[in-house]
């Protein structure tokens, strides 16, 4: 935010920053039309950083990676970065209800990253649980605008996805999509397969063939575009698709590009 620290922001007309000590003669002589110019600086301020985790049944999926362990790695990384910069970090976990046994209140104490990793990695995922409480997560945040990381595989209906994102519209939301390539990419192209809907606990048999595998991959590609479009409609940032393993460097690069 604008302030008086040593992070240079640029030159502004003197009346926007009426501090005689900041007057810059060269900038004044270069200005057209001629204006008395002043040097402006940024002020660093602490922000609230919140990780909102979807703990619905589909987050228990393990393929080439493990969604829950990846969520733990991401939460720990976010917490470590927040504490390092003097920001508050909090964790809110949701399934059919707000998981009060897993909530971590806002803090910037040392050891917070390790606690976040332990809390998420040891969390119990309930059979058949949905993510319906995501729309209630905002009730456990302060009214101050926060940076919110929404960790989910986004395996829910479009209307609910939009409602969940809209509920967080007062904050700066970065969606983090946890998909495993075993869900849609690395699958057999011939033969019978036993399939299970982790959210409804329904099971069935599916005769796989190359054309069906292609349709499934195409459906995931369309879903990816749909998630990005719904995030845009809700005013959230472009979603980050993490892949089978969390890569902190890729997430950092993504944040530099979209935030």
Q: How many domains does the chain have?
A: 2
Same domain, 27 and 104: no
CA distance 240 to 31: 42
The CATH number of the domain holding residue 127 is 3.40.50.410
Task: Specify the pLDDT at position 230.
Answer: 96
Same domain, 205 and 236: yes
Same domain, 187 and 252: yes
Same domain, 12 and 54: no
**Residue 44: which of 3, 81, 8 has the closest Cα?**
3
Task: Specify the pLDDT at position 232.
Answer: 95
Same domain, 9 and 52: no
Same domain, 12 and 68: no
User: What is the DSSP annotation of 119-134?
Assistant: HHHTPPPPTT---GGG
pTM of the model: 0.78
Contact 56, 124 (CB under 8 A): no
Task: Specify the pLDDT at position 176.
Answer: 97
Task: Specify the pLDDT at position 192.
Answer: 76
CA distance 178 to 4: 40
Task: Specify the pLDDT at position 256.
Answer: 85
CA distance 246 to 240: 11
For residue 252, CA distances in Å to 64, 81, 240 come to: 23, 11, 10
**Residue 234: which of 146, 179, 156, 174 has the closest Cα?**
174
Same domain, 60 and 7: no
Residue pLDDT tens, the chain, 259 long: 565 556 777 888 988 888 888 889 888 888 888 889 998 887 666 789 999 999 999 999 888 889 999 999 999 999 999 999 889 999 999 999 999 999 999 999 999 999 999 999 999 999 889 999 999 999 999 888 999 999 999 999 999 999 999 999 999 999 999 998 887 777 777 777 777 666 666 677 777 788 888 888 898 899 999 999 999 999 999 999 988 889 999 999 998 887 6
Same domain, 233 and 248: yes
Same domain, 35 and 58: no
For residue 17, CA distances in Å to 11, 21, 23, 41, 174 come to: 9, 10, 9, 10, 33
Task: Specify the pLDDT at position 196.
Answer: 67
Same domain, 175 and 228: yes
Q: What is the extent of the structural domain holding 194?
A: 48-258
DSSP, collapsed to helix, strand or coil, labels residue 118 as helix
Structure tokens at 196: 């299970």
Same domain, 139 and 56: yes
DSSP, collapsed to helix, strand or coil, labels residue 39 as strand
**Residue 57: which of 124, 102, 117 has the closest Cα?**
124
User: What is the DSSP annotation of 63-95?
Assistant: SSSBHHHHHHHHHHHHHHHHHHTT-EEEEEEES
CA distance 132 to 54: 9
**Residue 151: which of 219, 49, 82, 253 has the closest Cα?**
49
Cβ-based neighbours of 102, under 8 Å, separated by 6 or more: 55, 91, 93, 119, 120, 123
Same domain, 9 and 114: no
């Amino acid at each position: 935010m604008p302030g008086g620290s040593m992070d240079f922001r640029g030159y502004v007309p003197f009346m926007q920053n009426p501090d005689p000590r900041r007057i810059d003669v060269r900038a004044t002589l270069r200005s057209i039309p001629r204006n008395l110019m002043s040097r402006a600086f940024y002020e660093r301020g602490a922000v609230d950083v919140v990780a909102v985790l979807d703990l619905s049944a589909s987050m228990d999926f393990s393929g080439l990676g493990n969604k829950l362990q990846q969520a733990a790695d991401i939460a720990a990384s976010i917490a470590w970065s927040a504490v390092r910069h003097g920001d508050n970090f909090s964790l809110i976990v949701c399934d059919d209800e707000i998981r009060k046994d897993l909530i971590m209140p806002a803090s910037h104490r040392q050891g917070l990253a390790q606690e976040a990793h332990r809390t998420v990695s040891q969390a119990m995922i309930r059979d058949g649980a949905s993510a319906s409480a995501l729309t209630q997560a905002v009730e456990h945040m302060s009214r101050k605008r926060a940076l919110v990381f929404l960790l989910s595989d986004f395996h829910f209906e479009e209307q609910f996805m939009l409602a969940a994102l809209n509920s967080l519209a007062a904050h700066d939301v970065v969606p983090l999509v946890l998909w495993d390539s075993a869900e849609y990419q690395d699958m057999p192209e011939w033969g019978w397969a036993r399939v299970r809907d982790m959210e409804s606990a329904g099971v069935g048999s599916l005769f796989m063939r190359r054309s069906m595998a292609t349709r499934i991959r195409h459906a995931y590609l369309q879903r990816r575009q749909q998630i990005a479009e719904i995030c845009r409609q809700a005013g959230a940032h472009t979603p980050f698709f993490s892949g089978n393993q969390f890569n902190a460097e890729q997430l950092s690069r993504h944040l530099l590009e979209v935030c």
